[in-house]
Amino acid sequence: MPRWIIYNSPEDCPVSEQKVAEFLQGLDESFTVRWGFFYTDPYSNLSREGDFVIQGPDGHVLVMEAKGGHPAPNSSTGEWNTADKENPFLQLDREWKGAMERLRNQADQIGSKMPYVDRVLALPDVHLSPEQVSYEGTARDRVAAAGELGDFKGWWRSRFRGRHLECSRDQAKRIFDGVFSIGMPAGATRHILDFADKVIEHHTRGYFEILDALAENDQLIFSGGPGTGKSWLALEQASRWAAAGRKVLFLCYNLELETWLGAVCAKKNSGITVRSYQSLGAEVLGRAVTMKFASREQESYYYDKQLPDALASKVTEPGFEAPYDALVVDEAQDHNTEPPIDGYAGPGWWSVYLGLLKKGGEAPVAIFHDQAQRLSLRAGGFNPESLKNSLMQPVSVRVSYPLRYTRQLRNYFRTLEGEYSRDLLRDMHHSRVILPEGPEPELLTNVPEKEEGIRCAEIVKRWIREGLAKPHEIMVLYPSSSSVPSWLEQGKINGISFQTGADNLPKETIRAVSINKAKGLERRGVVVAGLPDWSEASQNEYKAKTFIQGVTRAQQLLAVITRPLALPRTEIDKM
């Protein structure tokens, strides 16, 4: 899919433009398509709007005007049968000259020569034979009919073959972007965000080719940062194994991610069983494993020591039959490989997981992790090398291209690098994937807790009112489940209902969850509230990683509401 820069809502554009856009959708990411642009009419000096400006991988530029039906002049009056009655080729010439003027001014600003700029009339409803030398009295090469649009990449190569680029390709891109890459207009609509969704899904499906290439390998260990599509690769791999008749255990760590993965897998294949660490314990032991604890220390001892010991004893007792053929683990860095369970040589909790597989360490396994997300202060540890030593023939794969975000969000994430976030954001600088356009993130600073709820409700209400997102596409995040913001206890603020800790939310209710429990989840729109300012959060590992894990849950719409600084700015600067 090409890089799209959309000015107007696609659903508001003429059908002829929408048809042309469908053809252009098949281009690859080496093309940039600007849909809707303004130019100054060289004859009337009025501002007008054109249809498409396209830049190809060779740096050349094409101005394209789209017309539906079969445009033709009236032999008696000379008027054309188009909506505005004017000659579309003259209209195209005006657009071309107007675009040329803007590009020339930009080239002068950077001290460069111009890229070559051509023009063509796009006729998606017209079919012309290759032998036809003219169209309505105009040279055939002034027209791109349905046949050319259907093979637009080949047509482009033929069109610009032999054309010399007088500036470098980098300069040509800078000139084009300087004029036409202005990002998302203020009046973003749901259709534009839906279009960005399609771009993101297209990139994600393209990543599945990795699994095609590794189809002969049954033991895979994937690593990658936020937004690189690990969860979607995990889902796809689980689906493929289940479709092949294998009984798959899909394991994650937290309950929120288990709920989402379970809903997705239920639609994909009945051969996939989704479990969190807690629900897996309940399945193996045949009893509930959750309880209330008097302290965090007691809770940690139970989950890190007592429960693993009980599970290991169960899967190794005489007569136990391993129920699963294959294992897929998402957010694997949260599953301890060390210390080993007493009496077992395997890698921590993974001794239990492998014990649930019929072929143990020889069984099909796909593991997806990001070690940078794990806090150093947490008990135990995760070491992928320990896993490799317990498997028969593991293959390590690195996925390093963020593809689940808009360009604007990725650029914002790049500004958050620091001592404790550098490794977590290491992939944000990879730019092979051209991300879709979207709104800039909304940053509200110095907001006291008593005002957070009002600000949050205002943002959510506006997103819903403007059609940018539906309630189920929005998630509100707060730093910790041990300190739920007081305003969430009100339930409803300014007409917006918020609710925590419920699986089946009433319609129109916004889900609120702690950042740690949202790990692995994503939503079109995310409001992160209750965080300290980044200048303060960046000085502490827990706060920095919590901040990053929160904001990277958003795909397109992001609002960050931070509280007043706990320390004066001068004290923070000294740290």
pLDDT tens readout for residues 182-199 = 544 434 556 667 766 776
Contact between residue 474 and residue 487 where contact means Cβ atoms under 8 Å apart: no
Give the distance, in angstroms, between the CA of residue 54 and the centroid of all CA atoms in the same chain: 24
Contact in structure between 61 and 117 (CB atoms under 8 Å): yes
Q: What angle do CA 445, 451, 452 make, to 5 degrees?
A: 65
How does pLDDT run across 533-570, given as a tens digit for each residue?
999 999 999 999 999 999 999 999 999 999 998 655 44
Q: Which of 86, 85, 90, 22 is nearest to 52 (CA)?
A: 22
Tell me, what DSSP letter sits at residue 59? S
Average pLDDT over residues 1-18: 78
Asked if pLDDT for residue 138 goes beyond 80, the answer is: yes
Give the tens place of pLDDT for each residue, 55-85. Answer: 999 999 999 999 999 999 988 888 899 887 8
| Residue 185: per-residue pLDDT | 41
For residue 28, what is the DSSP state?
Answer: -
| Pairwise pLDDT comparison (560 vs 503), residue with the higher score | 560
pLDDT higher than threshold 90 for residue 478:
yes
Contact (CB, 8 A) for 138 and 93: no
pLDDT digits (tens, 9 = 90+) for 261-285: 888 888 876 789 999 988 999 999 9
pLDDT at 433: 63
For the segment 206-219, the average pLDDT, to the nearest whole number, is: 89
pLDDT band at 11 (very low <50, low <70, confident <90, very high): low
- Which pLDDT belongs to residue 461? 94
Q: Answer whether residue 135 shows pLDDT above 50.
A: yes
**pLDDT given for residue 203 in this prediction:** 66
pLDDT digits (tens, 9 = 90+) for 370-385: 999 888 877 788 999 9
Q: Which of 40, 2, 46, 37 is nearest to 17 (CA)?
A: 37
CA triplet 41, 47, 49: central angle to 5 degrees? 90
pLDDT score recorded for residue 246 = 95
Residue with tokens 């891109």: 173
Q: Across 502-565, where does the E strand assignment appear?
A: 509-514, 523-532, 554-563
Query: Which CATH code, of 3.40.50.300, 3.40.190.10, 3.10.20.600, 1.10.150.120, is assigned to 407-574?
Result: 3.40.50.300
In this structure, what token pair is assigned to residue 439? 């709104």
Terminal Cα distance for the chain, rounded: 45
- Per-residue pLDDT at 240 exceeds 90: yes
Q: Percent of the chain scored above 90 by pLDDT?
A: 54
Q: Does this chain's domain 214-398 share its CATH topology with 407-574? A: yes
Percent of the chain residues past pLDDT 70, beyond the cut: 92
pLDDT score of 568: 52
Specify whether the CB–CB gap between 516 and 526 falls below 8 A. Answer: no
Among the residue ranges 36-50, 235-249, 321-335, 387-401, the one predicted with the least confidence is: 36-50
Query: What is the reported pLDDT for 77?
Result: 85
Question: Is CATH 3.20.20.450 the right assignment for the domain spanning 214-398?
Answer: no
**Domain boundaries along the sequence of the chain:** 3-182, 214-398, 407-574
The residue-averaged pLDDT of 238-247 equals 94
Segment 23-31 mean pLDDT: 87
The residue-averaged pLDDT of 292-303 equals 82
| pLDDT at residue 183, as a whole number | 45
138-139 and 134-135 strand pairing = antiparallel
Question: CA of 110: how far to CAs of 63, 103, 104, 172, in Å?
Answer: 22, 11, 10, 11
How high does pLDDT run on average in the chain?
A: 87
Q: Give the Cα-Cα-Cα angle 350, 552, 184 (nearest 5 degrees).
A: 150
343 in helix, strand or coil?
coil
* Whether the predicted pLDDT of 573 surpasses 60: no
